[in-house]
Structure 1
Amino acid sequence: MKTIILFVTFLALSSSSLADDSDTEFHYKPGEIADPSKWCDMKPEWKICGTGKRQSPIDLTPKIARIVHNSTEILQTYYKPVEAILKNRGFDMKVKWQEDAGKIVINKTDYKLIQSHWHAPSEHFLNGERFAMELHMVHKSAEGHLAVIGVLFREGEPNAFISRIMDKINKIADAQDGEISIGKIDPREFGWDLTKFYEYSGSLTTPPCTEDVMWTIISKVGTVSRQQIDLLTDARRGGYEKNARPAQPLHARLVYLNEQSSPSPSPKIQIPRVNPY
């Protein structure tokens, strides 16, 4: 009989909160007793993982998107360097800031940066292609709504930020719930390019799969080395070696592809008028 290992999930059991310390039981490996196809049957509050019509991740292509150019709403980033810790949660590696590291503003709503973590392989697809890794920057509004910025990476040159903290990852790679200080981290070090991105209304990609998430997926794909991929993958155990949920049906959702007509060094990026709530 297979043993289900308890880990700590990064997301809330309701759409109005973000609980980093909730015990949960789920796997990613197909055929396991709690693989993604069975999440909806594991607990009553996880039923939406199978019945929801706004589930994430999805396959993003220009064919399904409405293209917009510099619309009247603005996405702005306001970040600052503060002390951060790296935590091995068993199913992923998480960076969490000890103080207020800033926010993003979407459709005039503030979303405070909560944490970041990686999935390997990527959860979202671009034009049918799954990539080597995906970074999630998780933000939360005062009302409890979530906004996640996703950055995709293909195998290639090393990622500069991961290179900076590789020794820290190594130190807690074998320590479930182990954590270590990584000093002051500026969220801008993760290196986004916000000149072109997709936006849609979706869900958490782990149970309870709550449908209350504004997703922004950067179109430009970065790079990460094989050594870095292996390091983050080897730190996961018990069915989490590949921690990516399969792509979910689009159903009748709107997807927007925002393209800046004149790229600017300013962090102010135009996005469509979308309110998923």
Structure 2
Amino acid sequence: MKNIILFVTFLALSYSSLAADETETEFHYKKGAEADPEKWASIKHEWSICGMGKRQSPIDLTPQIARVVHNSTELLQTYYKPVEATLQNRGYDMMVSWEEDAGKIVINGTDYKLVQSHWHAPSEHFLNGERLAMELHMVHKSAEGHLAVIGVLFREGAPNPFISRIMDKINSIADIQGGKASIGRIDPREFGWDLTKFYEYRGSLTTPPCTEDVMWTIINKVGTVSREQIVSVVDARRGGYEANARPAQPLYARTVYLNE
């Protein structure tokens, strides 16, 4: 009987470890707890840059810290197309991924293929010292493995049309970590953002391992999201992920560009 108990315990621990690796749940956001953002750097050696890095994200974006440029259409171009998409509850966020090639962005002549999109609530980036209600991240990757993320900020207000379209799917997997739901053909442009004015800077992943290899583009025009939508997205996250936003990081000597 003792051997059976030990074997079952080993299986449970192995499954727990596997789940942590698959869902990246070895970190969370609950302030003061063992794995909160201030302690990410000490959890694993390969996460040390979370505390030591000089190009960490998110940051507070203001015109005062930015260098203004006027060639946005040359710097960033989008080429998207509608393909079948899936919504997944990863436990720490809600993610939309595409089953086929949904297009790309081109930054300074480099192609970055769209990989997935997900939401943070509240926002991770600050705008003029203000943390907003929500932030969308559209994650792209180049052939060399470099990342480019477009961030869209939202205030509480009118419902967001795209979230309204998939609200029933969000609610259907809110209680299922790892749960997935087909959401049909989705054109990435349906997320609804305006590239006429945006901030751009070199930063990092906002979750461990905090790798400093991300070109960030944060749209200056703020959208809206309803209270019901915020609650629905946040309700899918529990156990330290209810507020999945990393604190703002020091700018250090980086240059931030404001494209107008």
TM-score (norm 2): 0.91
Matched ranges for 1:83-162 at <5 A? 83-162=84-163
Where do 1:180-199 residues align within 5 Å?
Answer: 180-199=181-200
- 2:181 maps to 1:172: no
The letter for the 2-side match of 1:257 is L
Cα-Cα RMSD: 1.4
Q: Deviations over 1:104-140 (max 9, x none)?
A: 0000000000000000000000110000000000000
Change (3 A) 1:44 1:230: same
Which runs of 4 or more aligned residues in structure 1 lie more than 6 Å from their structure 2 counterparts after TM superposition?
Answer: none
Of residues 69-78 and 32-41 in structure 1, the stretch that sits farther from structure 2 once superposed is 69-78
Q: Which residue of 1 aligns with 2:211?
A: 210
How far residue 72 of structure 1 moved from its aligned partner, in angstroms, is 8.4
Assess if the C-alpha contact under 8 Å between 1:146 and 1:213 holds in 2. Answer: yes
Q: Is there any run of 5+ residues in structure 1 with no aligned partner, and where?
A: 10-20, 260-277
Q: Does the CA contact (< 8 Å) of 2:87 and 2:97 recur in 1? A: yes
- The structure carrying a bigger helix percent of its residues is 2
Is the CA contact 1:27–1:35 (under 8 Å) kept in the aligned structure 2? yes
* Corresponding position of 1:65: 66
User: Which protein is bigger by CA-based radius of gyration?
Assistant: 2
Aligned partner of 1:122: which letter?
S
Structure 1: how far apart are the matches of 2:20 and 2:93?
10
* Partner Cα distance (2:112, 2:69) in 1: 23
Deviations 1:30-73 (A, max 9, x none): 01110000000000000000000000000000000000112684
**Which position in structure 1 is the counterpart of 2:41?**
40
Residue matched to 1:16: none
- CA distance in 1 between counterparts of 2:241 and 2:259 reads 33
Structure 2 unaligned runs (5+)?
1-15
User: Is the partner of 1:143 in helix, strand or coil?
Assistant: coil
Take 2:169 and 2:146, find their aligned partners in 1: how far apart are those partners? 31
Question: Aligned equivalents of 1:245 and 1:183: distance in 2?
Answer: 31
What is the count of residue pairs matched by the alignment?
244
Q: Distance in 2 between matches of 1:256 and 1:185?
A: 31
Structure 2 residue identity aligned to 1:163? S
Give identity over the alignment, percent.
Answer: 80
Instruction: Quote the offset at 1:165 in angstroms.
Output: 0.1
Q: Which amino acid aligns with 1:204?
A: L
3-state secondary structure, aligned to 1:32:
coil
Report the residue type matching 2:157 in the other structure. G
Superposed displacement of residue 8, structure 1 = 6.0
Describe the shift of the 1:245–1:115 C-alpha distance in structure 2 as closer, same or farther (beyond 3 A).
same
| SS of corresponding position for 2:221 | coil
